[in-house]
Structure 1
């Protein structure tokens, strides 16, 4: 299975945050905006950064949009452009479309035209959403500071049947498992010999760089 391809349309605070985080996670990202200054800002961040009008279907076709797996429409204040872009992207057969909504009316229209996920971002929510985009096993992501976060993940095949000491999460990644949730039961401060089962919810705390390594090794599955 090849690497998933992402496109972020609109490089304002929200779209820019998602673009940076996806890129930092090693994803292939096509960054698009009609503002040359914003595009130049992301030339060293994204895999590709281009100036384009996303309401121009021919322009998107020429950019190879048929090969994109997931499009994030993060257009700022222009609701009309957001809706038209979503329609075009949908018609191009993109499998997953996430769209930033400005208000409830905008959301209702986006629902009707087939957006897969509609978000009402607060400040700096881009990081949190980027993690959920990368893997369905990453359930939540909460920043504690500029460099430390808490992540809530669902245990998959890589953790199934392993103990905390087997996985050696603290030594390998510098992260700490602070709780394991299994159904309605919550095990706070689990012991080293506690066994993790597939489907368990694992809550991990650590620095952002350590959490990124932990996610890549044990959470994000091909």
Structure 2
């Protein structure tokens, strides 16, 4: 996904809306020791303030017109990686946020540490999805509203869907095996099959693929 290592954000610009001074302070506290450059921006004139490389945009859901402004910025700068801070209201808003290009989510009351981990996750793998969002995310995919592949429709078994849901939650091979009452070898087999079917390079790419499919559903 092309980002710095999770424990080293040197060279990464983290953009934060000037309309949220408390959020600016929390983000700065979270990533300052990792070398990230925190830049305060105006969300409404954002495209003029975005660079050419990979950047994380921290979006405050309380900001006016956050959804439209984020979608416009992502359209103009495809390497932008938005992280939404705020409580998502229902599945429709979650769907709209992902469709706008948002790749990470943190609740309104997220700690400094949680924001830091989300930014590191986006920098490392391109996404930051809380476990609470994993099931609805995969359920939407299962209904054909999200996952898309370069070779068209593919058949995904029920057990593969169960495995995908746990992979999205960042569960380890042993944890998935325990949850599904199967061997670790079976989990690896399901994961390998999913990566081949969906055209993913690795497990992190599976999560990113689900998000990309959500933003660009099959016709």
TM-score band w.r.t. shorter chain: 0.3 to 0.5
User: When the two structures are superposed, what TM-score results if normalisation uses the length of structure 2?
Assistant: 0.42
User: When the two structures are superposed, what TM-score results if normalisation uses the length of structure 1?
Assistant: 0.42
Higher relative contact order (CA 8 A, sep 6+): 2
- Greater Rg over alpha carbons, structure: 1
More strand by share: 1
